[in-house]
Structure 1
Amino acid sequence: MSQTTTPAEARTVQSAPPPGADSARTRTIGRVKRTLTPYGFLSPTGVLLIILMITPIIMVVSYSLLDRVITNKNPAFVGFDNYVEVLTDPVFFTAVRNTLVFTISSVIVHFAIGLAFALMLNSPLLKDRTKAFFRVLYILPWLFTVAIVAVLWRLLLSPNGVVNYLLGTAGLTDGQTEWLANPSTALAAVTFINIWSGYPFFMISLLAGLQGIPKDLYEAARVDGAGVVAQFRNVTLPQLRPIIISMALLDFIWTTQQFALIWMTTGGGPINSTEVLSTFTYKLAFTEYEFSVASASAVLVLLMSMVLAFFYVRHQKARD
């Protein structure tokens, strides 16, 4: 007896999905979810970057192309006139020179002091308690905020401060030197303060690098007859080179953007002797109310920082 199929049953059979269709659809949905999940986790950070970084940068760039922005309701488009005004200002080149002197001196001495202290703290000649004491002592400058550092050294370097008293007692000066108010000594003084407060960054990083060098390398060098200097030159420095380059680039970027320390000690004076790019830009905006010119100066600083950041990222990729 033959079995007949009604039209409704035939439509049901024809509309039924082929075998495995549900599993293929499930795999596709799962693949899409796995692809979008990382972006979902990154989306809050992306939104914050757009709001707090990308949007302000776009606004500053647009301000730099306008005339008398913020103070004028209808600012006119002036193109690159603000950049020309900044680049023809002699104070700008004074700020660039002071920034380079301040930054290069700080980075070099940061490295020298940090390496010397790191070698001492990694030396087997010192006992563990002695090392612990000096680690706490040497890292103290890094624990102070910029405001505390500025106030502390303003008191120490005042005409009636401890530094003048000690130098006067030793007969090295007359004991009344205006370290932060004298154009010939102000830049050296703020550079010294920045060195004092920043060398622990190098010290900690280099100490970690020294502790990661395999002991076998030093044993092999001693077997080959290498002395202490030869071991330092042929083993220690090559092993620390990636860390040194990374720390130097980071320190260079951070020091070029130093503002709070200089502003709270000298304010860029006296007579522009400690004027750097950050204080120069700040004064244009909030002292002279030239927001358009200040925006142009800020864009120039941003471009310089991007060049340094490019070399840092390139070094990190080469290191990886």
Structure 2
Amino acid sequence: MRSALIADLNKDMQKILNNISNESIPYLFLLPCLLILGSLLSVPLYKVVEYSLYDNVIVQKNPSFVGLENYKEILGDIAFWKATLNTIIFTVGSVIGHLIIGTSLALLVNTDINPKARTLFRSLLILPWIFTAVVVAVNWQLLLNPFGIINYGLDKLGIINEPLDWLGDPSLAMWSLLLISTWRGYPFIMVSFLSGLQSIPKELYEAAEIDGAGFFGKFWHVTIPQLKPVIYGVALLDLIWTFQLFPLVWLTTGGGPGRSTEVLSTMTFRYAFVNFEFSQASTVAVSILIISAAFTIFYLRNEKSRI
């Protein structure tokens, strides 16, 4: 009896599998993972959007529904627009710095030099990407301290007459943060561009040399056109990551001094875990989500066009 039941079940399963096309089988294997990830992402996302429509959530047992009032309040807050402007400055400045430094170093380590020296340089130059945000923040705080080595070196060179508080001066804090972000993020660009450079046929450079092109001529007319798809994809991905960056900013300046380096991510954290205004924090988080989603859609369309 039991063996007959098992045989019937096997026949039913075989019929189901026969009805499933070969193209659908991979999606069936992915289904459990997609369901788990979907639930882990959709539930918090739903709660954040829900919290943004209520007043005094979490801190009150029965919060009141206010609809879009939190959004109106945030949009009328000067601090929100200041944080948005800082986010744009920080994001655009960091991405430009990553592209300039990353491209320059990719060209440098792609030159024909001793293989062992080239491997050593590549290993050393990728180190900033390996360090955690905590390590980067602490080390740069020590370097940029008024009594740190950077002020000491600038003083010895006669560039400054008195120590500068790089992270404590509102006029210098954002520039210092951009310097730290550029140093931390350039390895990703460098490695991505290096892989692109190695895929460019050498015959193109040889043809450009025959036509009389120098270094900059080959870079502009050969390297850039060949790397254009990589540049678009990597720049958009870096833009998305940097726009949402929180740990490095919070651990380095905490959004200060004052609000001079306050970005949307640190503003969300401040609302939630400093001021305990979770409704406002959720509202700012939703605004970050909307902008990030727009960048992500643009990135996915760019990647789809490359395939």
Q: TM (normalized to structure 2)?
A: 0.92
Counterpart in 1 of 2:283?
296
Once the two structures are overlaid, the 10-residue window that deviates more, 65-74 or 35-44, is 35-44
Q: Percent identity?
A: 48
Give the root-mean-square deviation of aligned CA atoms: 1.8
Are 1:105 and 2:93 an aligned pair? yes
Counterpart in 1 of 2:175?
188
Counterpart in 1 of 2:203?
216
2:77 is aligned, of 89, 95, 105, to: 89
Are 1:150 and 2:153 an aligned pair? no
Deviation at 1:45, TM superposition (A): 1.8
For residues 193 and 103 of structure 1, what CA distance do their matches in structure 2 show?
13
- The count of residues paired between Structure 1 and Structure 2 equals 296
Are 1:123 and 2:111 an aligned pair? yes
Q: Aligned with 1:271: secondary structure? A: coil
Deviation at 1:34, TM superposition (A): 4.4
**Structure 1 residues 46 and 234: CA distance shift in structure 2, 3 A:** same
Counterpart in 1 of 2:33?
45
Are 1:308 and 2:295 an aligned pair? yes
Counterpart contact for 1:167–1:175, Cα < 8 Å: no
For residues 199 and 148 of structure 1, what CA distance do their matches in structure 2 show?
17
Q: Aligned with 1:185: secondary structure? A: helix
**Structure 1 residues 266 and 218: CA distance shift in structure 2, 3 A:** same
- Poorly superposed stretches of 4+, deviation over 4 Å: 25-29, 33-36
Counterpart in 2 of 1:55?
43
Cα offsets for 1:98-139 (capped at 9, x unmatched): 111111111111111111111111112x22122122112211
For residues 68 and 116 of structure 1, what CA distance do their matches in structure 2 show?
50
5+ residue gaps in structure 1?
Answer: 1-22
1:206 is aligned, of 174, 177, 193, to: 193
For residues 222 and 67 of structure 2, what CA distance do their matches in structure 1 show?
55
5 Å-filtered alignment, 1:15-30, equals: 29-30=17-18
For residues 16 and 295 of structure 2, what CA distance do their matches in structure 1 show?
44
For residues 51 and 278 of structure 1, what CA distance do their matches in structure 2 show?
24
Counterpart in 1 of 2:122?
135
For residues 53 and 233 of structure 1, what CA distance do their matches in structure 2 show?
43
For residues 150 and 253 of structure 1, what CA distance do their matches in structure 2 show?
21
Counterpart in 2 of 1:250?
237
**Structure 1 residues 26 and 164: CA distance shift in structure 2, 3 A:** closer
Counterpart contact for 1:165–1:175, Cα < 8 Å: no
For residues 33 and 316 of structure 1, what CA distance do their matches in structure 2 show?
28
Q: TM (normalized to structure 1)?
A: 0.88
**Structure 1 residues 91 and 27: CA distance shift in structure 2, 3 A:** same
Counterpart in 1 of 2:6?
none
Deviation at 1:26, TM superposition (A): 6.2
Are 1:267 and 2:254 an aligned pair? yes
Once the two structures are overlaid, the 10-residue window that deviates more, 135-144 or 197-206, is 135-144
The code of the aligned residue for 1:95 comes to A
Q: Choose 1 or 2 for highest CA Rg.
A: 1
Deviation at 1:146, TM superposition (A): 0.6
Counterpart contact for 1:147–1:261, Cα < 8 Å: yes
For residues 31 and 175 of structure 1, what CA distance do their matches in structure 2 show?
79
5+ residue gaps in structure 2?
Answer: 1-10
For residues 160 and 173 of structure 1, what CA distance do their matches in structure 2 show?
13
